Amino acid sequence: MAFGRTYLPHHFETKPSPMHAEIDGLLKEASIDRGARFAIAAPRGHAKSTLVTLSYVLWSVLYGHDRFVMIVSATKEQASQLLKHVKDEIETNPRLHEDFPEASPHGPAGKPSPWRGGKLQLPSGALLWSVGLGQQIRGIRHQSSRPSLIVVDDLEMPEHVISAEQRHKTAEWFRGSLLKCGDDRTNVVVVGTVLHYDALLSNLLDPNKSPGWVGRRYKALLSEPGDVDRWATWEAIYCGREHWVEGTDRDAARAYFEAHREEMEEGASVLWPEREPLEALMEIRVREGRASFDSEKQNEPLDPEHCLFKLESMSFWDDEHPDATALLGSFPKKPSLYIACDPAVGRNPRKGDYTAILVGARHYKSKQIDVVAADLSRRSPSQTIDRIVEYAVLYNPKAIAVESNGFQELLVKELRTKLRHRGISPSIREVRNTGDKQARIAGLQPRIEQGMIRFSRKHMLLLEQFRQFPLGAHDDGPDALEMLVEISQYIKPQIGWIDLQTGEIGGFN
């Protein structure tokens, strides 16, 4: 990126990200080896056009690596605008004029040829040609040469990926017309954002669908923050569902973040903190929605046809009750409470799967289950045990279900010991799941759609795992909920109950 920082400092004011360094290295190397094909998915707003379509194109032309460059975009107008940025630098940048006089309009070679039809020919003889999607380009030549560099920048717009027919047309033009403009030494660089799971860029990133292509998929949010509870509170404040000392809106949410910055940033990692820090990304995710965020910032749009659970079909108890205390107080009879835990298999609490701990309240008559607490974090086994004990002390559950496959059996033994030391003796069921986990979780769908399982809008990570199931990277929360439902049916109701603190005796439960 030395070229950009030296000659285009007004475009490179912010410290570059690791993505920029990697892309720059790949493209510079390909300018020597030739015949490369790159598919690069970069988060929206991460200066991909500045790096590739401006800086790299200028470097390539001015240093003589490419004499015929095609700049391609979704429309002819967009492509022309990208070319205009190159033209403006060549015509007005004094640093370029000083070191590359052969390309300068004030140099010995004279002015560039007039800009006509989306073409710009430099005094050195190099030609840059802008092209829009679907444009007739068969047989395109500069003198006797084919393009030596084809840069495709944001070829697809949202309207291009909605229908299968339009996606097919885009792919057909790209493979059948655009790629055939070059030869075996032509470098092709496709940069953009993945707008659809079956979009052209998505398929170019897949080595099974596009062999020979070098793919790079970058995410703005590299790892999620670990403090799920505080981020849930932050979102509730941001969305106006919860009040804080500073009020209820974006400013209050920002004040809340500043008050808890250290805890809320722990475990999180972002691609370009100098441009988009964690708080800014989380605001975008809440403001624009997770589906848009997954596509525009993470380059991982989901296939809705293959996702079983829809957030719009879920029921939420906090639409009626402000918190868990109010919810439990609304039950006509004391509810039966249960805890389920799906411990992470890995021993490193900062990596791998989440440990999911769920608390559910089961209605006496309707058998409806309300998810009172959904605690999904990366924890060590000892931290997991301590957290379960905390919930057990708080809710006095009738039963606790813990998956105990493998070394997790040791966790169950230690849990029993610690519960006894606290004077709590719920039934503990060790769950050894050997069947199809996806089938078990999918079995929750009818109950959820019927409103027999209700959630809290604060449980962001649990809801996100359900939204992405079965395509998401993690399903610890849904797995724990399946265990919670199972344990609530497995444990037989007690004849009655006695509140040991007040002496109150309840009826059948």
Residue 481: give its domain's CATH number. 3.30.420.240
> Are the beta carbons of 80 and 119 closer than 8 angstroms?
no
Q: Are residues 329 and 470 in the same domain?
A: yes
DSSP three-state, residue 5: helix
380, HSE (Cβ side, Cα atoms, 13 Å): 3
The encoded tokens of residue 255 equal 């004040």
Q: Are residues 326 and 453 in the same domain?
A: yes
Q: Are residues 167 and 273 in the same domain?
A: no
Strands (E) across 315-380 are located at: 315-316, 336-342, 355-362, 369-377
Query: CB within 8 A of 109, min separation 6: which ones?
Result: 101, 102, 103, 123, 124
Q: How many domains does the chain have?
A: 3
Q: Could you give the CA distance from residue 484 to residue 472 in angstroms, rounded to a whole number?
A: 21
Q: Are residues 418 and 324 in the same domain?
A: yes
State which of 192, 223, 245 marks the end of a domain.
Answer: 192
Closest to 340 measured CA to CA, from 382, 375, 386: 375
Please report the pLDDT score of residue 466 as a whole number: 94
| 224-242 per-position pLDDT tens digit | 998 888 998 999 899 888 8
200 inside domain: no
386 inside domain: yes
Q: Are residues 279 and 314 in the same domain?
A: no
Q: Are residues 330 and 181 in the same domain?
A: no
State which of 192, 214, 241 marks the end of a domain.
Answer: 192
Ranges of the chain whose pLDDT falls below 70 = 106-117, 345-352, 405-409, 490-509
The encoded tokens of residue 73 equal 């975009």
213 inside domain: no
Query: CB within 8 A of 249, min separation 6: which ones?
Result: 237, 238, 240
Closest to 265 measured CA to CA, from 237, 294, 226: 226
Q: Are residues 370 and 486 in the same domain?
A: yes
DSSP three-state, residue 387: helix
Closest to 149 measured CA to CA, from 82, 71, 81: 71
197 inside domain: no
Backbone angles phi, psi at 340, to 5 degrees: -130, 140
| 322-347 per-position pLDDT tens digit | 999 999 999 988 889 999 999 886 54
Longest dimension (CA), the chain: 100
Q: Could you give the CA distance from residue 8 to residue 120 in angstroms, rounded to a whole number?
A: 20
Q: Are residues 451 and 395 in the same domain?
A: yes
154 inside domain: yes
The neighbouring-strand residues paired with 215 are: 39
> In terms of DSSP H, where are the helices of 68-179?
76-92, 94-99, 158-161, 164-173
Backbone angles phi, psi at 346, to 5 degrees: -70, 155
Residue 364's domain spans which residues?
A: 306-506
Q: Are residues 412 and 452 in the same domain?
A: yes
Please report the pLDDT score of residue 496 as a whole number: 43
255 inside domain: yes
Backbone angles phi, psi at 430, to 5 degrees: -85, 120
Q: Are residues 247 and 356 in the same domain?
A: no
Please report the pLDDT score of residue 125 as a whole number: 86
390, HSE (Cβ side, Cα atoms, 13 Å): 10
| Amino acid type, 234 | W
State which of 253, 272, 301 marks the end of a domain.
Answer: 301
> Are the beta carbons of 140 and 128 closer than 8 angstroms?
no
Written as one string, the DSSP assignment of 10-31 is TT--SPPPHHHHHHHHHHHHHH
203 inside domain: no
Please report the pLDDT score of residue 366 as a whole number: 80
Q: Cis omega (within 30 of 0) on the bond before 470?
A: yes
43 inside domain: no
344, HSE (Cβ side, Cα atoms, 13 Å): 22
Q: Are residues 499 and 367 in the same domain?
A: yes
Helices (H) and strands (E) in the chain, counts: 21, 18
> Are the beta carbons of 231 and 225 closer than 8 angstroms?
yes
Q: Are residues 315 and 432 in the same domain?
A: yes
Q: Could you give the CA distance from residue 48 to residue 138 in angstroms, rounded to a whole number?
A: 28
> Are the beta carbons of 247 and 474 closer than 8 angstroms?
no
